[in-house]
Structure 1
């Protein structure tokens, strides 16, 4: 039997000067400080709603988070979770697994452990700080930022809703070539919508100010892998093989709320309206995550905001989308697995129910950087390693990553392509300036 090639090392804060190191040293403490400030600012509100109990809970949560920040900044060992939340046992098993990997080189700590693990762990501890402190246990510390991103992106939202409603008027008359062009346009809007990421900017403003449609042509050179033709083929072939009983299903594994979510919803509506798909399943996060990731509340809130907007085409989108959810052609779901530290190659083993569900899909669209890191194991891959190889046997269905580059991992480039950009732009992998539409067919 052929020997299995060893996987490259995980990205980690122990590589000084790396983006992982910079994130753990600077960005993560900044995010924790913002969370603490947010709780401080809401103290009066907690008092008005819950009296002294609310204020006590706020103090406890802040003390828990201050301790967490100190552990992180002083590179303390990562401690087991002590809460009773449903995923705690899985987290603690994973921590044991990391302990065994360290071969007796001490406990896994913030800078020595894989970046993906400690970053996910921080967000899980933020969740615990609130979840363990009723009556403020349902407070989303990131909610304001997500709402602000949506409101500050109003111009872009209006432009996209207007463009889309206009497109729907003539969609029945479009020939195949025109349909394909429109699909490619909306895929790119959804790709570049991924720039609006609040965990990347440590919560600073990252809204989409102008209409994204106008800049698509200029952005083409920055799409390093462009497999849009392959997506088109998958959808067209699925349609041809579509029998009475089988429906063409597309799944979108969501990333950020705000403008990016809107761009994903428009893409999903286009897939249905153009009859390229019969149903779309959206996968969000079951707890507040990575500052701006979409939860069920964000998903429903966005549709409600659109419905009640005093702009004709925005409210038309909102009303239609509410209808899609009611009739079941759109399905929103969340699963605990998306907020565990595992990369996706472990999904079949850790969350067999989710893996089996994804196998029913004709196409999986993974949005954003964190999903890409989990698809490829967040490792120091050579740039030209095939995407299929980096997926490490994760192949539930044909899948595609739509991602702007904001971390040190990228595969599937042409030989020399990464090195060439690196020579002129050392920050190319973390600036969000470059994007990919990277496809892998299922086995």
Structure 2
């Protein structure tokens, strides 16, 4: 049974990041309302008049939710029957302990990470309370559009992978290392395509990232790629298996970059198995669900391009033969910071402990790794993780939120002096490693 940890625990050092509700949250909710209304005929065809009544019920729920958000109403307990209701309501009780003046947690007065996660969970509540359309993914159209609008960039990446595999037997160890370095950077910059940050607006990748890697290197603030390579190359001795885990972020182009990197790790004998961890429900607009993962593999397999289709075939076989394994866990869509995982979700923590290297993709994972606290820029990454050290891990993230640790002295201040929004635009990135402490 997952429970909310003791709020007085020493793990909760530092102060939360607090922000007012930014424009993008009402904007995302407005897009949810528009999407449901646009699909009215689909609900009618599938469910008859029940579908229309469900559409009206969902629209009413989300309009009320948007008003609560914009007028700083108190956070309400969840009222659906999904498996995590008790956990979320316990966490709301914990948020009350953070307010010493007897106030209720509200949209403007609660930690920003909690506010965002709470909004997405309330979206799930609205759908759960609107049968028979409860399983409808209000973000699927946006995710699918992002995939198709990024086709050229995906084709370039799939072509690069297949050409590399065609000469794999002639690659020196240095060339293998260079390929992994290159694909790690591609995976990093693929993280720019985040619909939750763009408010659901088109944020697809329309050009090949590969051609721009040299230009982008100057914007990598922390580059621990060598540490990642050392883990992979050290394990490649022919006698033991090597497991790499991806904690996924966005579907669409970013997911393709992750799948290409995972394929390369297997093909280059740097890993023997790759495990992927995705969301159990639609989350942060473009986050990857099991449906998104499987749909992406099918789309690649059916592509009218031999290299993309070849990738899809390989990935389908990897899943069938167990070289790739997909996991879902409720913890990834809870409000908890990762430092509580061993206590809140010990089964998931134990699963990650089996890994030789865990790659955490994206901004939300970074915020949960560090607790979205107001750390000094120079605080070591391993320290900001607090007790979360299940395995050697690496965060691959473009900066889209006001938290960053592990920078050399003065770098954060220099950037702030010339670019006031350097923490939030996605212009800069990190490949930031932490060993088991």
Q: Give the TM interval when normalised to the shorter protein.
A: over 0.9
Alignment of 1:234 with 2:231, yes or no, is yes
Q: Which residue, out of 279, 285, 292, partners 1:285?
A: 279
Q: Which residue, out of 190, 214, 217, partners 1:217?
A: 214
Secondary structure of 2:236 counterpart: helix
Match of 1:29 in 2: 26
CA distance in 2, matches of 1:347, 1:145: 31
| Counterparts in 2 of 1:6 and 1:39: CA distance versus 1, 3 Å | closer
Counterparts of 1:15-414 in structure 2, within 5 Å, are 21=20, 24-240=21-237, 243=239, 246-414=240-408
| Counterparts in 2 of 1:179 and 1:280: CA distance versus 1, 3 Å | same
Match of 1:8 in 2: 14
Once the two structures are superposed, residues 12-62 of structure 1 have per-residue CA deviations (whole angstroms, 9 ceiling, x without a partner) of 12xxxxxxx3xx231100000000000010111111111110000011111
Once the two structures are superposed, residues 309-338 of structure 1 have per-residue CA deviations (whole angstroms, 9 ceiling, x without a partner) of 111101000011000000000001110000
CA distance in 2, matches of 1:172, 1:228: 24
Once the two structures are superposed, residues 174-195 of structure 1 have per-residue CA deviations (whole angstroms, 9 ceiling, x without a partner) of 1111000000000000000000
In the TM superposition, residue 93 of structure 1 has moved relative to its aligned partner by 0.8
Secondary structure of 1:439 counterpart: strand
Once the two structures are superposed, residues 254-310 of structure 1 have per-residue CA deviations (whole angstroms, 9 ceiling, x without a partner) of 000000000000000000000100000000000000000000000000000010111
CA contact (8 A) 1:171 1:274 kept: yes
CA contact (8 A) 2:11 2:387 kept: no
CA distance in 2, matches of 1:84, 1:136: 15
CA distance in 2, matches of 1:155, 1:217: 20
CA distance in 2, matches of 1:236, 1:162: 25
RMSD after superposition? 1.3
Unmatched runs of 5 consecutive residues or more in structure 1: 14-20
CA contact (8 A) 1:172 1:274 kept: no
In the TM superposition, residue 239 of structure 1 has moved relative to its aligned partner by 2.3
CA contact (8 A) 1:152 1:208 kept: yes
CA contact (8 A) 2:378 2:405 kept: yes
CA distance in 2, matches of 1:203, 1:84: 28
Q: 425-434 or 130-139, which moves further after superposition?
A: 130-139
CA distance in 2, matches of 1:99, 1:434: 35
Runs of 4 or more, structure 1, over 2 Å off, are 4-8
In the TM superposition, residue 6 of structure 1 has moved relative to its aligned partner by 7.3
CA distance in 1, matches of 2:379, 2:250: 28
Q: 365-374 or 169-178, which moves further after superposition?
A: 169-178
CA distance in 2, matches of 1:191, 1:5: 29
CA contact (8 A) 2:79 2:125 kept: no
CA distance in 1, matches of 2:12, 2:106: 24
Secondary structure of 1:25 counterpart: coil
Once the two structures are superposed, residues 189-222 of structure 1 have per-residue CA deviations (whole angstroms, 9 ceiling, x without a partner) of 0000000000000011110010110000000000
Query: How many aligned residue pairs are there?
Result: 429
Q: Which residue, out of 426, 429, 436, partners 1:435?
A: 429
Once the two structures are superposed, residues 237-257 of structure 1 have per-residue CA deviations (whole angstroms, 9 ceiling, x without a partner) of 2223x64xx521000000000
CA distance in 1, matches of 2:322, 2:72: 48
TM-score between the two structures when normalised by the length of structure 2: 0.96
